[in-house]
């Protein structure tokens, strides 16, 4: 009897007597992710421009959350400054466009530069213990923003304003929507492949118990650096797309390329959806960004505190994320047949106990 597993688990085996088969249970999370993205892909067909803009942002955040998931969810290291890679991507593209270079060059160069930066940054910073690593990355993101602003990178105060370059095809908003969507899909597939590989196993082992992982032959430090670099890549490409799409942006402040709120948003989205799962970041991004946009128009004044309250509630009641919550509720006990209501009831008990164990 196959059971629901966390989708990062590579193998689930079935019956007892025969040699264990590989079950297909791991497929449902990435599969559902693809379906969700496909459904979102229908949005441009409605012709509604404001909806298109909203969903473009949503899909962009999907990519950001998926990127963070690699270092924060799978490797278990809470990096707080991934927006730095986003900003690097945005400014790489912006600077190249200002010098009339090819746009495609920018999209290729952005992840390369960001990846290199992540590697060089990761080397010292990943040696730091938990809190320090998080804040060090946060500080780097803030510092980068400040440097760009005060050194007038690309424009006075770093406030970029680009003229759209001429291309031989029609540039439309839908184009960027599909650009982000494709990026998200590629990241999804890439992450899925990764989790089923040796690398993925190493990351999960490191997350669960780093000391044991080391004792079993895993070079934990290098895998962490690797995860950090990987998390930078889709984030940087998203930044590059963002630069081209918006054409004008600031380094700091709300909605800026190095805005720390973006960093926190991607973490919140991943955590809400389910860190370390494939579907989680996508789900979380949709929920949070939609809520954010909705409340900022409907409840402009309290939209900020509302987000804050939401974060507080999520950390108390949903720290493991929605996807894992569902998995936990649906979990079939080993070797015993149980009806769904019974399973859910026991799942609720398990979850309540887990939440209580987080407190005093």
Partner 1 sequence: MSHASSHPTASSAQGQALGQAQPPLLELEHVTKRFGGLPAVEDLSFSVRQGEVLGMIGPNGAGKSTAISLIGGALAPTAGTVRFQGRDITGLAPHRRAQLGIARTFQITQPFAQLDIRENVIVGALFAGHERSRAAAAQRADAVLERVGLARKARLKGEELTVADRKRLEMARALAIHPQLLLLDEVMAGLTLREVGEAVELIREINQSGVTVLVVEHVMRAITGVSDRILVLHHGRKIAEDAPDVVLSDPRVIEAYLGERYARQRAAEQARGARESERGTPELPTPVDTWKEGQA
Partner 2 sequence: MAQYVVNWILLGCFYAAIGLGFSLIWGIMNIVNLAQGSLVILGAYVAYWSYSILHLNPFLGILTAMVVLFCVGYTIQYLAINRVIRAPILVTFMMTFGLALLISNLLQAFFTGGYKAINTPYSSAGITLLGARIPLLNVAVAAIAVMLTALLSFFLSRTRVGNAILAVGMDRDAARLMGVSLARTYALTFGIGAALAGAAGGMLAMTLQFSPIFTGQYTLFAFVIVALGGLGTPWAALAGGLLFALAEVFGPLIPGVGFGLDTAIAFAVLVLVLILRPNGLLGRPFYA
To partner 1, the closest distance from the beta carbon of 213 in angstroms equals 7
Decide: is 214 part of the binding site for partner 1 (CB under 8 A): yes
344 binds, among partner 2, partner 1, none (CB under 5 to 8 A by kind): none
107 binds, among partner 2, partner 1, none (CB under 5 to 8 A by kind): none
To partner 1, the closest distance from the beta carbon of 26 in angstroms equals 12
To partner 1, the closest distance from the beta carbon of 65 in angstroms equals 20
**Nearest 5°: CA angle at 344, between 2 and 336?**
45
Q: What is the dihedral of CA 238, 239, 244, 246, to 10 degrees?
A: 100
Q: Which residue's CB is nearer to partner 1, number 218 or number 272?
A: 218
Q: Which residue's CB is nearer to partner 2, number 247 or number 306?
A: 306
To partner 1, the closest distance from the beta carbon of 124 in angstroms equals 18
One-letter-per-residue 3-state SS of the chain: CCCCCCCCCCCCCCCCCCCCCCCCHHHHHHHHHHHHHHHHCCHHHHCCHHHHHHHHHHHHHHHHHHHHHHHHHHCCCCCCCCHHHHHHHHHHHHHHHHCCCCHHHHHHHHHHHHHHHHHHHHHHHCCCCHHHHHHHHHHHHHHHHHHHHHCCCCCHHHCEECCCCCCCCCCCHHHHHHHHHHHHHHHHHHHHHHHCCHHHHHHHHHHHCHHHHHHCCCCHHHHHHHHHHHHHHHHHHHHHHHHHHHCEECCCCCCCCCCHHHHHHHHHHHHHHCCCCCHHHHHHHHHHHHHHHHHHHHCCCCHHHHHHHHHHHHHHHCCCCHHHHHHHHHCCCCCCCCCHHHHHHHHHHHHHHHHHHHCC
Applying CB under 8 A, the residues found at the interface with partner 2 are 72, 78, 80, 124-125, 127-132, 134-136, 138-140, 142-144, 146-147, 149-150, 260, 264, 267-268, 271, 275, 301-305, 307-312, 314-316, 319, 355, 357-360
x-or-dash pattern for partner 1, window 304-343, by CB under 8 A? Answer: ------------------------------x---------
Q: Which residue's CB is nearer to partner 2, number 55 or number 80?
A: 80
To partner 2, the closest distance from the beta carbon of 268 in angstroms equals 7
349 binds, among partner 2, partner 1, none (CB under 5 to 8 A by kind): none
**Nearest 5°: CA angle at 233, between 231 and 234?**
85
To partner 2, the closest distance from the beta carbon of 283 in angstroms equals 17
Q: Is 248 helix (H, G, I), strand (E, B) or coil?
A: strand
Residue selected from 218, 267, 272, 288 as contacting partner 1 according to rule CB under 8 A: 218
**Residue 317: CA atoms inside 13 Å, Cβ hemisphere, count?**
7
Are 107 and 96 contacting, i.e. CB atoms less than 8 angstroms apart?
A: no
6 binds, among partner 1, partner 2, none (CB under 5 to 8 A by kind): partner 1
Decide: is 136 part of the binding site for partner 1 (CB under 8 A): no
Residue selected from 70, 94, 202, 227 as contacting partner 1 according to rule CB under 8 A: 202
Residue selected from 213, 233, 271, 288 as contacting partner 1 according to rule CB under 8 A: 213
How many residues make up the chain in this entry? 360
Residue selected from 35, 143, 219, 309 as contacting partner 1 according to rule CB under 8 A: 219
Residue selected from 211, 300, 339, 357 as contacting partner 1 according to rule CB under 8 A: 211
Sign (positive or negative) of CA dihedral 31, 318, 228, 158 = positive
To partner 2, the closest distance from the beta carbon of 140 in angstroms equals 7
Site residues (CB under 8 A) for partner 1, limited to 169-198: 196, 198
Residue selected from 10, 311, 326, 355 as contacting partner 1 according to rule CB under 8 A: 10
To partner 1, the closest distance from the beta carbon of 272 in angstroms equals 19
Where do contacts with partner 1 occur on this chain (CB under 8 A)? 3, 5-6, 9-13, 16, 19-20, 196, 198, 201-202, 204-205, 208-209, 211-220, 334
């Amino acid at each position: 009897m196959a059971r629901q597993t966390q989708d990062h688990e590579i193998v689930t085996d079935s019956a007892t007597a025969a040699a264990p088969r590989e079950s297909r249970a791991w497929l449902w999370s990435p599969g559902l992710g693809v379906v969700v993205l496909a459904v979102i892909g229908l949005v441009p067909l409605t012709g509604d421009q404001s909806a298109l803009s909203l969903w473009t942002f949503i899909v962009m955040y999907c990519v950001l959350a998926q990127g963070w998931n690699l270092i924060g969810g799978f490797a278990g290291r809470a990096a707080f400054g991934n927006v730095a890679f986003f900003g690097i991507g945005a400014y790489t593209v912006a600077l190249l466009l200002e010098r009339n270079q090819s746009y495609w060059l920018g999209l290729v160069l952005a992840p390369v530069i960001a990846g290199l930066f992540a590697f060089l940054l990761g080397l010292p910073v990943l040696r730091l213990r938990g809190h320090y690593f998080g804040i060090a990355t946060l500080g780097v993101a803030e510092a980068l923003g400040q440097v760009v602003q005060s050194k007038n990178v690309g424009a006075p105060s770093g406030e970029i304003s680009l003229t759209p370059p001429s291309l031989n095809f029609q540039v439309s908003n839908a184009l960027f929507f599909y650009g982000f969507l494709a990026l998200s899909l590629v990241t999804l597939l890439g992450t899925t492949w990764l989790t089923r590989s040796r690398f993925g196993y190493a990351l999960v082992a490191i997350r669960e118990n780093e000391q044991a992982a080391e004792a079993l032959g895993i070079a934990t430090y290098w895998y962490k650096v690797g995860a950090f670099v990987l998390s930078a890549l889709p984030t940087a490409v998203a930044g590059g797309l963002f630069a081209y799409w918006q054409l004008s942006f600031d380094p700091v402040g709300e909605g800026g390329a190095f805005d720390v709120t973006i960093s926190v948003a991607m973490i919140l989205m991943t955590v809400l959806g389910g860190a370390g799962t494939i579907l989680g970041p996508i789900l979380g991004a949709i929920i949070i960004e939609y809520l954010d946009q909705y409340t900022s128009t409907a409840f402009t004044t309290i939209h900020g505190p509302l987000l804050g309250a939401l974060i507080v509630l999520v950390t108390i009641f949903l720290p493991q994320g929605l996807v894992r919550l569902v998995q936990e509720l649906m979990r079939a006990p080993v070797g015993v047949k149980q009806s769904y209501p019974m399973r859910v009831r026991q799942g609720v008990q398990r979850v309540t106990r887990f939440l209580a164990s987080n407190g005093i």
